[in-house]
Amino acid sequence: MGTYVYGIVRASHSPLPQDLEGIGEPPRPVRVMRQGELAAIVSDAPEELRPKRRDLLAHLRVLDEAAAEGTVLPMRFGSVSVDDDTVSAVLAERSEHFLERLQALDGTAEYNVKANHDEEAVLREIMAHQEVIRSLADANRKAGGGTQEQKMRLGEMIAAAVQEREVTDAELLHQALARLAAHVSAGAQSTGWLANISFLVDRRSAERFLAGIEDFRRQHPHLDLRVNGPLPPYSFVDSPSSEHTEQTEQTDGGTAQTFWTTAQPSAARPNAAQPNG
């Protein structure tokens, strides 16, 4: 059956709700395993483990509960160990590393910021500031729409201008918010978004960071910003060195990561995965 691991905390971490449920159908009760100065938040692993929406949300819910009570090192969805004894052994073996990461992340939270263009607003700005494109559009309009070749040329020019603006706006967003954060991690390219960036923020500075987002939003009304946080530091947990990483196990339900494979950017965040049903 195996042991499913959600995250690693200090042994002194505040207790989690006694009725907290994790992944599986029916949901498995969540428990805390202590080993020295560390503890792992775990449950029994189901026979089959697939990235279903229900289980992804359960994984996130457990980590959110843990993060509300203190610092947690979140594990990637699907992190499974052979049994409880193996979990304890790895906590003992890697205690120095895990304690260092917990200390480094104390008092912080992750905020994920995605950005996209308001298409109409961007097109208006392009027409207002790029004379060549504006002139060609005016000429085509006066010519009843222009020839097919002229339409294609205009479309290509607009597409290139939009793409250039996407790069510029992504960099502007990064620069504006990076100065308000302790660390920055660029997320995976996400369809429909020109930027997907995670920021590690001191919780004491969270209001300042969020105010910075609102300032940027006001200064760039052509951008649609989506903010998710505060979150556990999914994007800022270093993986242990490869010499301590087991090969990935294959289960009937799909691929299960060994439990000390720590969360990678977009591995277990809201809106980061496409669940099956």
Sorting pLDDT into bands at 50, 70 and 90, what band is 239? Answer: very low
Report d(CA 242, CA 256) in Å as an integer: 17
Sorting pLDDT into bands at 50, 70 and 90, what band is 81? Answer: very high
Q: Please give the model's pTM, rounded to 2 decimal places.
A: 0.78
231 and 113 Cβ atoms separated by less than 8 Å: no
**Dihedral sign, CA of 82, 256, 13, 90?**
positive
DSSP character at residue 78: T
CA 31 vs. chain centroid, Å, equals 25
**Dihedral sign, CA of 115, 119, 120, 125?**
positive
Name which of 223, 229, 100 is nearest 168 in CA terms: 223
Query: Within 13 Å of residue 173, how many CA atoms lie on the same side as its CB?
Result: 33
Per-residue pLDDT, 243: 37
Q: Has residue 261 got a pLDDT over 80?
A: no
As a whole number, mean pLDDT of residues 72-98 equals 93
As a whole number, mean pLDDT of residues 119-125 equals 84
Summarised one tens digit per residue, pLDDT across range 166-206 is: 999 999 999 999 999 999 998 777 667 999 999 999 999 99
44 and 3 Cβ atoms separated by less than 8 Å: yes
Q: In sequence order, what DSSP letters do the residues of 91-151 get, joined into one string? A: HHHTHHHHHHHHHHHTTEEEEEEEEEE-HHHHHHHHHHH-HHHHHHHHHHHHTTT--HHHH
DSSP character at residue 267: S
Q: In sequence order, what DSSP letters do the residues of 24-67 get, joined into one string? A: TTTTPBPEEEEETTEEEEEEEPPSS----HHHHHHHHHHHHHHH
Question: 152 versus 255: which is more confidently predicted?
Answer: 152
Report d(CA 119, CA 135) in Å as an integer: 20
Structural tokens at position 164: 């250039």
Q: What percent of the chain has pLDDT over 70?
A: 84
